[in-house]
Structure 1
């Protein structure tokens, strides 16, 4: 048995077994596991696992493992949970009504436990952007490498790269030019709609032909409103779609529901959301630049101090729309380097404790396990 398999089995047992797990996702450092009964989770057992760097209790349990390992464990957990569910299924027939009732009860229980409107909203925003992070990382690194090559080529140091940098620019910018579509698809799914309809409505925002549309005498610009506009558009599309399905006869639902959804949500996006989200985006950029330009060290202290608590609760991904908006406006985000200093300070403090606690092997082992994730 491999180490990853053994670790995954131990984590699954601590979560209350496969029957208590209904959803498994992961970000760069932590597992996000939806459980049916939080009380069935043995948090102390999970924290006692040497590879586990931390556990955050909620209806969606978060188990921190660190980069690299978390991807392997997530895949293995999915395989183990699926196989155990199949092997443990009751052979007796269960009615569709009973299954539906059980599912409804599980959903109600999950909503009732430890949920506040603000945390629920932030978690939904995080769920929308979480799947996009690998692509954002990849495109950001490629853009950085391309910038260095362009600078070196301009100075005559790497003339061979002149024909190669446009290809790297396309790789780095292609995803960002259509990020509104991906945000729209994820947002529609998160709010109970069809992903492709959310993407179709959000695709209006980067469409070049939108420049021919005028609102209140002003021509719209392709990309106006960015990801914020895409969020609003997709959420509205999800609500319109669900409303349509309540009254539309099934015989014509395939034609009527998507048409009404795209038409209504699309027109509202064009004539309301793009302008409104454009104002919000400009405001975010102005506030962020003004805060850092005028706030100095105090602004950095406040921002850095607030960031780690968000990370502890897994809500830091909710900041991604702000970072994305700043990247769309200026090509970079001024906030992320400041927020990253919180993690840098944490690493520095951990190294200091590691050097001082020479006789506390347990504490030093914990720090050694946590440092790779903190540096990442």
Structure 2
């Protein structure tokens, strides 16, 4: 081709071109972003979206409506489609005489929708996620380096390199409070660098000279929870100063008072209080798994998929981070990762139970590799959730897998992850625990196997009623190729779920 574009580029641009008119065209897009599996769009006018036609596109695995309109495309695909989508928007004409009116109307609709659907608790969880999610790439990178370094030390290899690797792996965690403070101030509407400045007090070595409530402070006391609280306080102090300090003095007085007042409260109150809370979280997690590991793992593994669907899993992010800070790994994540194993097992059973439905079987074949790597959204929105029962049996698989890992925790074999984000097979490089690495890996692999098998068996034998089989075990191969038009054939459509 003269343009030098590849077939893959053409395919991704075709997907973007098919999606764009169904979300109201370029003039209806206010913002574009993507995460691991979803294209996230800020829309000016929600009523312009053609939901049914959009969900009927072969490349679309589902949609999720939240503060942004989220189109599930799957891992890899979304990262390649998003630039093409942005390019199409940039190339499209934007009528100047209607843009402002459309933006105003869209802003009013978005505000009304958010006011109707958003609850204070879910808004708070979303803010927490916005603070911690940007830190995940660094947590993953440093966690893998830490695991590699531990392996080299155990093998006695490259003794001259392992101290450098230890420094590289530990530097971010030593200063994570600063990044949390920065992101917190940014999220709550303050000056980010002031939030980082106040949070940096927590990790400053000089706090070891300060005594509070009869105890000497230690650097890092309070951790990410203290940093979050300190930064939120700094935002409120800064906003108060902006209201009362004269403009001529603002540039000098506001940052000084913000850091001074918030810093004093942090040193003489927040560090101690947050330290006690952080310690309590770690102690409770250890106690729970040591005394009720199997039961706790069963409940956590079984309920994690519904928590994800409701968006409540975001509340666990600071808990994971606190455990990683304290112990070097979070013992909760390997248990929660079993939910994905149950989902994979359920999908494989669906594949066998619907031998005539070529459409669903193709979706499963394309989504299973991502599912094994811990990305479950394509299988959730494209397979189990639309079918109903298989979503429940997938949770059963997650419960048994979680109970298996929890049982070994109760027996003294802690299985943890040095970072948050990955699950499935992608979690293997991040595993750590209190026993040799081989033993930890074996327990986690055993949990995955239990999750796969239980999810498969539960779905194969209990995931389908006679009516469900009659409805979905039909031939879809003669269905016409779909583009932007709504589907008319019997293929099930992924449902939209609010998270």
Task: Give the deviation of 1:272 after TM superposition.
Answer: 1.6
Match status 1:90 vs 2:96: yes
Deviates more, 1:341-350 or 1:39-48: 39-48
Aligned match of 1:142: 145
Aligned residue number for residue 116 of structure 1: 119
Give the match for residue 6 of structure 1.
14
CA contact (8 A) 2:44 2:107 kept: no
Residues 1:46 and 2:45 are matched in the alignment:
no
Match of 1:200 among 197, 202, 209: 197
Q: 1:316 & 1:163 partners in 2: Cα distance?
A: 41
Give deviations 1:233-286, integer Å, cap 9, x for gaps.
111112222222122222222212211211122211111211111111111111
Do the aligned partners of 1:56 and 1:313 also contact (CA within 8 Å) in 2?
A: no
2:129 maps to what in 1? Answer: 126
Aligned mates of 1:110, 1:232 — CA distance in 2: 30
CA contact (8 A) 1:59 1:113 kept: no
Q: How does 1:152-231 map to 2 (within 5 A)?
A: 152-153=155-156, 158=157, 161-231=158-228
* 1:8-35 deviation digits (Å, cap 9, x = unpaired): 2333333333333333333322233333
Partner of 1:321: 318
1:31 aligns with 2:39: yes
Aligned pair 1:349/2:355, yes or no? no
* Partner residue of 2:79 out of 71, 91, 103: 71
**Pair 1:245–1:30, CA change in 2 (3 A):** same
The residue aligned with 1:335 is 332
Give the deviation of 1:64 after TM superposition: 2.2
- SS of residue paired to 1:137: helix
Structure 1: segments with no counterpart, 5+ residues: none
Q: Secondary structure at the match of 1:22?
A: strand
- Structure 2 Cα separation of the partners of residues 271 and 285 of structure 1: 23
Which of structures 1 and 2 has the larger relative contact order (alpha carbons within 8 angstroms, sep 6+)? 2
Measure the CA separation in 1 of the matches of 2:22 and 2:181: 36
Query: For the residues of structure 1 that align with 2:262 and 2:304, how far apart are their CA atoms?
Result: 34
- Consecutive unaligned residues in structure 2, runs of 5 or more: 1-8, 374-499
Whether the aligned pair in 1 keeps the contact of 2:177 and 2:227 (CA below 8 Å) is yes
Point out the structure with max Rg over C-alpha. 2
Alpha carbons of structure 1 residues 3 and 103: separation in structure 2 relative to 1, 3 Å: closer
Deviations, residues 181-238 of structure 1 (Å, cap 9, x unaligned)? 1111111111111111111111111111111121112111111111111111111112
The RMSD of aligned alpha carbons is: 2.5
Instruction: Assess, with a 3 A threshold, how the Cα gap between structure 1 residues 299 and 205 changes in structure 2: closer, same or farther.
Output: same
Is contact 1:224-1:275 (8 Å) kept?
yes
The TM-score with structure 2 as length reference comes to 0.68
TM-score, length basis structure 1 = 0.88
Whole-angstrom CA distance in 1 between matches of 2:75 and 2:241: 43
**CA distance 1:300–1:238, change in 2 (3 Å):** same
Partner residue of 1:60?
A: 68
8 Å Cα contact 2:208/2:219 also seen in 1: yes
Structure 2 distance, partners of 1:108, 1:227, is: 32
**May I ask how many residue pairs the two structures share in their alignment?**
365
Cα pair distance change 1:244/1:19, threshold 3 Å: farther
SS in 2 for 1:163: coil
